[in-house]
Amino acid sequence: MPLSVSICCLKGTDVYPSPQAHFVAYSIAFVCHAKANIQLGSVESAKRKFAHSEIVKMTNNFQRILGKGGFGTVYHGHKDNTQVAIKMLSPSSVQGFQQFHAEVDLLIRVHHKNLTSLVGYCNDETNLGLVYEFMANGNLQEQLSDSSSRILSWEHRLRIAVDAAQGLEYLHYGIKPPIIHRDVKSANILLDDNFEAKVSDFGLSRNFPADAGTHISTAVAGTTGYLDPEYYLSNRLNEKSDVYSFGIVLLEIITGRPAVLSTTDERIHISQWVGFMLVSGDISSIVDPRLDGNFTVNSVWKAVEIAMACASPNAIKRPTMSQVVMELKECMATQMGETNHNNKTKLTSSTELISNDSIPMLSPPSVR
């Protein structure tokens, strides 16, 4: 990424400030807002309605806080023997209410295994809420952080990438009108007890009308480090903005580093850092060192190529999410094929070691 573009991404001024805490689970969203005017007719016929008193009971009177953000506070709770989380919107949060309204509208429409799904609601006069399922392994950002006690294997990382890509592909091509998420980031990818990933937090999402042409013009919204530089500069939004953000998430998955790297002297965007490191052609300098070499070189090179193509500063050069899903599945097949081959070889001869030379090296991917 050119330095000038990278700087635009890092400034992030007047961009929607992302919440400090995001769901570590599918959640129940609860709102107290006298001006609430969300129509839930289609929900009421298909989803369970919870009384406000039930939500208070679920949370033990909102006792345990999971996190706080611009919208309000997230609480932990239980429904019968099922864990839940409660997103409670502050009555004074006008922006948060708008985002909540957008999320309600979207969750009524979408149904996909890799997106958070609505299972109930609360609509007691001025009290409005949404019910979601608990996600046991929190979010991807937490799992990739140095503070995590668990190290995700390369295979797990690829599966998470495929899951998240499939969720975005559905938003772009599986429903009409298509939906642009606008806030794709590792903190908004939740993981269940089997580490299946689901895209969450649709408060900034926008419909993309069929007659909109190549883009829609809208105020810039998103999170610093993940924000499409072309959208940032032009206010022109289309599905390729989500592709860019996903590319940054994929680079995080590969490197184990955050979207914006901070040193004592400067801050550098992860795509720029990876571009610098690619010059040496040494994949070990890019991959998360905690993987300790437990990956196939072909698979990693392929993943890096996909990520850098997604993160191209030029939107027209980015692939579609359908192409990304297909390429990531090939990447997974390469990883699984090499792993199965290595395991079979070890069973055949316990004394034979497979040298690195037996794994064909791909040429370093071009930075597109």
Same domain for 215 and 123, yes or no, is no
- 308, 218: one domain: yes
Pick from 79, 98, 131: which residue ends a domain? 131
Residue 98 sits in the same domain as residue 154: no
* 126 and 146 part of one domain: no
Burial (CB < 10 A; 0-12, 13-18, 19+), residue 38, is middle
Q: Residue ranges for the binding site?
A: 87
Instruction: Examine the fold and report which residue of 131, 151, 180 is the final residue of a domain before the chain moves on.
Output: 131
- Say if residue 69 is in the same domain as residue 188: no
Find where tokens 């009308």 sit.
209
- 97 and 236 in a single domain? The answer is no
| pLDDT of res. 238 | 92
Whether residue 66 lies inside any domain: the answer is: yes
Tens-digit pLDDT profile for residues 295-326 = 999 999 999 999 999 999 999 999 999 999 99
Which residues have a catalytic role annotated?
Answer: 183
For 19, the 3-state DSSP assignment is coil
157 in a domain, yes or no? yes
Lowest-pLDDT range of 79-83, 99-103, 165-169: 99-103
**Spatial contact of 322 and 169, defined as CB atoms under 8 Å apart:** yes
- Most confident by average pLDDT, 69-83, 142-156, 330-344: 142-156
Binding residues for ATP: 87
In a domain, 34, yes or no: yes
pLDDT greater at residue 174 or residue 282: 174
The DSSP H or E segment spanning 16 is none
What CATH number corresponds to the domain at position 69? 3.30.200.20
What integer pLDDT is reported at residue 201 of this predicted model? 87
pLDDT at 161 over 90: yes
Buried b (16+ CB within 10 A) or exposed e, 216-240: eeeebbbbbbbbbbbbbeeebbbbb
Can you give 340-351 as a three-state secondary structure string?
Answer: HHHHHHHHHCCC
- Structural domain count of the chain: 2
Write the CA distances from 153 to 62, 196, 297, integer angstroms: 36, 14, 14
pLDDT at 2: 43
- Of 131, 157, 190, the domain-final residue: 131
Q: What pTM was estimated for this model as a whole? A: 0.80
Q: What confidence score (pLDDT) does residue 153 get? A: 96
Q: Which domain holds residue 216?
A: 140-358
Q: What is the mean pLDDT of the chain?
A: 79
**Tokens read off for 97:** 């209410």
